[in-house]
Structure 1
């Protein structure tokens, strides 16, 4: 048997029939339907058993009526959900008529009124079913009057009707609650799926942004340094300084090799290649060298405080921010000197990049549409925020410029 929570196969969308109230006749494991069928079978057996005390012709008619009732009841009860309203009415009319004839032939047939009640409510799960139950109850009472109506004879059908209606509408309410619960579960699952999709999209967007910053601070900065070095080397050759040009091309070659290592490390999701081979200070010194040569800059790297090993992610963040800041100094500032300072303090590490260049208006630059114009500043701020730190840019037209980032360092990280 079917379950009470499954969809009714007779919905209007499926067969073009009129909309009906929720069908309560599909209980878990078919408990209600099976119970009604068993009860009807027992009542039919009682009615058939009454044939043994009847004359042959009457007994034959009683058996015929019980057989017709059984066929129409069991076939119709399983198929009524697929029928049109007219066919349902015909089914109800035939079964009720057969029951009335059975009641005339064998008074014991009055017990089949229970099956008739459920047939009426099965075919008409609305106010028509309730009215029909009351009408059939009145018929059962009136049919007893010629032989003498007793209080029990009147109360039996009336109480049976009340119990049947109460049970039916209790099950109907439970069915509706089950369907509402199923709908809520479906909505919850849909919402969860939408949330997962949204989180996936946000994660993908964040990853794209992270990769954009990573590429800007590694490959793009390296290519920019190589371009500047080769440009200066070309000028040296034209000025008759081949040794100086060769030195700059050697630096460009070294920068290209380091950029390639950075790209491979990034692809492999490893730490910055420079940090894998040396300390933060050593990585900073190697990082500033090509920028110093390309821009004819005097760049120094200093350490303030007692230097110590930091978490790899913290050191990588400081290196990337320093790389972006120094790259901006070499490309845009027109400076002659730049100082990179790492300050170790209790619970904090700070990076300062200061130059004596022409300066700029930070608010004006950051107000520009996001893109290549200031992706470096955006990347630096994003990196600092990811580590719980803050990046501060102090500059004005005419210079100088100072970029400062402070990252927290907790005791467990030391």
Structure 2
């Protein structure tokens, strides 16, 4: 629009000079054109001026233009860019009043140039102005709504990012809690039980007591390795040898205090089978640790069986024991009297990978805990 204003001003001046060579009005027309261009450029250069300053600038431009049109009606077409400048600069009512004034001046100038009454010159400019003004105001309203929508989207994105950070922090805290429960806490619990067992038979069966102490030392050594790896990257230390060896190592550590844990690995999911994703392996190992810790501490079982099976689209981990059993609640929860993170942690780990946990138990007939984790894309 600014470029159109200067173009129309230059064309109108050229037309005036060609139509009226040597006219007495020529010096005034050239001077007023220069003054109008100077005022207009000054306003464009001072873009940092206040809103009130821009309104004063627009009124000066219009005032100089009105004088120029009174001198030479051919300059009336410079009003077209001024319409839009007024609509952008002034409040809506003031802008519409200015548009009406400019339209009236254009009509008067065109009738003066024609030298006769012409209905087209009277009705044409107002019709064009009404359509152009309506289009501009509609676009302006849409721009305002779009800016408001963008602001809402930016604010919503910031709030969502903050919520995601909070949820991520809570999820990380929960994950750390489960990691500590399934590693250091369980290892310390095993050490405590072994040392208590050694203390009970220290005088009567010193060889058995020393065996318990050696087992406790082995558990402490493993806990130390877990703690160092935990600090390093929170990855299970046992998984360095693969999931099969990790599960057998967990079963061996839990086979103490009268509990024997047998391990059965499906050949398809063993060391010769496809490699499961690291997250799945880590979750299965932690679930096995948590389940066997519950068996040892709460079930009173003498035998437990750990079975890992790889199906076409999922991997299944079953832990069965011959303990006292319990009545599963709805929603599922730990048996009465059992405290800690055991079953909730197992369910949380499975659910994080889209898996499910089912518990079948009857008082006096043992318990079977089954965890199924889907494998994206099926067996590779």
TM-score of the pair, normalised by structure 1? 0.69
Q: 2:345 aligns with which of 335, 359, 379?
A: 379
The answer for the alignment partner of 1:259 in structure 2 is: 223
Tell me the CA shift for residue 219 of structure 1.
1.4
**Is the aligned partner of 1:133 residue 2:102?**
yes
Q: How many matched pairs?
A: 361
Structure-2 separation of matches of 1:353 and 1:40: 93
**Is the aligned partner of 1:113 residue 2:76?**
yes
Q: 2:262 aligns with which of 301, 321, 328?
A: 301
Contact persistence 1:388–1:408 (CA under 8 A): yes
Greater Cα shift, 242-251 or 174-183: 174-183
Greater Cα shift, 225-234 or 297-306: 297-306
Per-residue CA distance 1:125-170 (angstroms, 9 max, x = gap): 63212321343145336756xxx83256x74576456545545554
Gap regions ≥5 residues in structure 1: 1-31, 103-108
Relative to structure 1, the CA distance from residue 39 to residue 157 in structure 2 (aligned partners, 3 Å threshold; closer, same or farther) is farther
Structure-1 separation of matches of 2:37 and 2:281: 85
Q: 1:354 aligns with which of 321, 327, 335?
A: 321
Tell me the CA shift for residue 113 of structure 1.
1.0
Tell me the CA shift for residue 254 of structure 1.
0.4
Relative to structure 1, the CA distance from residue 61 to residue 292 in structure 2 (aligned partners, 3 Å threshold; closer, same or farther) is closer
The answer for the alignment partner of 2:292 in structure 1 is: 326
Relative to structure 1, the CA distance from residue 143 to residue 220 in structure 2 (aligned partners, 3 Å threshold; closer, same or farther) is same
**Is the aligned partner of 1:399 residue 2:368?**
no
Tell me the CA shift for residue 273 of structure 1.
3.1
Contact persistence 1:137–1:157 (CA under 8 A): no
Per-residue CA distance 1:41-74 (angstroms, 9 max, x = gap): 332344456664335xx55445544444444455
Matched position secondary structure for 2:191: helix
The answer for the alignment partner of 1:337 in structure 2 is: 302
Structure-2 separation of matches of 1:135 and 1:306: 94
Gap regions ≥5 residues in structure 2: none
Structure-2 separation of matches of 1:285 and 1:71: 90
Structure-2 separation of matches of 1:64 and 1:300: 105
Contact persistence 2:187–2:223 (CA under 8 A): yes
Contact persistence 1:340–1:353 (CA under 8 A): yes
**Is the aligned partner of 1:286 residue 2:264?**
no
Relative to structure 1, the CA distance from residue 119 to residue 140 in structure 2 (aligned partners, 3 Å threshold; closer, same or farther) is same
**Is the aligned partner of 1:274 residue 2:246?**
no
Tell me the CA shift for residue 394 of structure 1.
3.4
TM-score of the pair, normalised by structure 2? 0.74
The answer for the alignment partner of 2:171 in structure 1 is: 206
Matched position secondary structure for 1:53: coil
